[in-house]
Amino acid sequence: MTYIVNEKCINCKYTDCVEVCPVDCFYEGENMLVIHPDECIDCGVCEPECPPEAIMPDTESAAEKWITLNAEYAKIWPNITHKISALPNADQLQEESDKYDRYFSILPGDGN
């Protein structure tokens, strides 16, 4: 089992999730984070720290669609280990649907 990040993360970057992860297994895209499935130790402490509720265990049925995306992009995006500023429209876009189709970017973030 691992935890995954779903499309609710797109355009967020509050990164409270990153701050609490004991093994630094978040990776940063231009507008979304993912979790490395081989590094996550399933502690679950990041889940309640995520305001848009984008983090969930991969055992939930709603997580299935995002397992491959997390695994793929965790290999190519840079590691992020410290909290950064949220994206400018994070609050406004938090409740939007279909964020993947509308906003997902394959580009890497800066990492830190």
- Chain residues binding ligand SF4 by CB under 6 A are 3, 5, 8-9, 12-17, 20-21, 23, 25, 33, 35, 40-46, 50, 52, 54-55
Q: Nearest approach, Cβ of 25 to ligand SF4 (angstroms)? A: 5
The residue (of 3 and 73) whose beta carbon lies closer to ligand SF4 is 3
CA geometry: angle at 94 spanning 93 and 99, to 5°?
70
Q: How many CA atoms lie within 13 A of 13 on its CB side?
A: 19
Q: Nearest approach, Cβ of 36 to ligand SF4 (angstroms)? A: 8
Check: CB of residue 38 under 8 Å from CB of residue 59: no
The residue (of 12 and 63) whose beta carbon lies closer to ligand SF4 is 12
The residue (of 24 and 64) whose beta carbon lies closer to ligand SF4 is 24
What gap in Å lies between CA 47 and CA 15, rounded to an integer?
A: 12
Q: Nearest approach, Cβ of 45 to ligand SF4 (angstroms)? A: 5
Which backbone phi and psi does 93 adopt, to 5 degrees?
A: -90, 0
Which backbone phi and psi does 38 adopt, to 5 degrees?
A: -85, -15
Q: Nearest approach, Cβ of 61 to ligand SF4 (angstroms)? A: 18
